[in-house]
């Protein structure tokens, strides 16, 4: 009986450990647009959202933009930036093809101008090098003719925030390359679209 009870407790703890963490939603606005954002920083939550945890090296934000005063707004993914207070890293969202397509970006870290093996984000391949001084990121395109698109690409393209001009509410996902194990309280989303700049902190 004790053995059975111990097994059930262990199974319960294991299930709790793999349960996705809460995903906070915050909202702000200016005279031109209202922005709502839901943060997915936990790999298990990202897996549940899109069917892949993207190797654990991405933070995903589900955003909704609602124009105000019936005015059209132009939506560009590059207007968004995610910053972490942990080390000051700033990230722009990647397009689906940069994550899983034939032209996926391979990002390498450099220290004091010296190239070295570091964070590599490519087609189904992610690796991490050793620590040291504060790194900066450089990138190049992987255009290998034999590269195959990852199965997740179609799902990313379906769910990504579409770039467009619209007077209707629009929503979609943004994929930010980030060091793993980010804490929700450390992350800040900046939107530099129409009107004044919008800042969102997640709690």
Residue 70: how many other CB atoms lie within 10 Å: 7
pLDDT averaged per 10 residues in sequence order, the chain, 203 residues: 53 52 91 97 94 94 95 96 95 95 51 38 39 43 47 93 96 96 94 96 90
Q: What is the pLDDT of residue 95?
A: 96
Predicted TM-score of the model (pTM): 0.72
Q: What is the pLDDT of residue 102?
A: 64
Q: What is the pLDDT of residue 127?
A: 38
Q: What is the pLDDT of residue 123?
A: 36
Residues 6 or more apart whose CB falls under 8 angstroms from that of 80 comprise: 61, 63, 92, 93, 174, 189, 190, 191, 192
Q: What is the pLDDT of residue 3?
A: 58
Q: 70 with 167: CB under 8 angstroms?
A: yes
d(CA 193, CA 172) in angstroms, rounded, equals 16
């Amino acid at each position: 009986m004790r053995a059975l009870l111990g097994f059930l407790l262990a199974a319960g703890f294991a299930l709790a450990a793999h349960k996705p963490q809460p995903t906070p939603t915050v909202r702000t606005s200016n005279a031109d647009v209202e922005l709502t954002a839901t943060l997915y920083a936990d790999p298990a939550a990202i897996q549940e959202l899109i069917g892949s945890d993207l190797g654990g090296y991405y933070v995903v934000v589900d955003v909704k933009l609602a124009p105000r005063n019936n005015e059209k707004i132009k939506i560009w993914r590059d207007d968004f930036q995610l910053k972490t207070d942990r080390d000051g890293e700033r990230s722009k969202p990647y397009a689906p093809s940069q994550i899983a397509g034939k032209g996926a970006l391979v990002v390498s870290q450099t220290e004091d101008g010296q190239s070295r093996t570091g964070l590599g984000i490519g087609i189904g391949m992610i690796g991490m090098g050793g620590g040291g001084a504060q790194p900066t990121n450089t990138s190049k395109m992987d255009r290998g003719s034999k590269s195959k698109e990852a199965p997740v690409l179609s799902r990313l393209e379906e769910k990504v925030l579409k770039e467009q001009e619209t007077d209707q509410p629009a929503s979609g996902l943004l994929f930010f390359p980030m060091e793993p194990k980010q804490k929700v309280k450390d992350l800040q989303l900046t939107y530099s679209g129409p009107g004044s700049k919008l800042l969102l902190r997640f709690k």
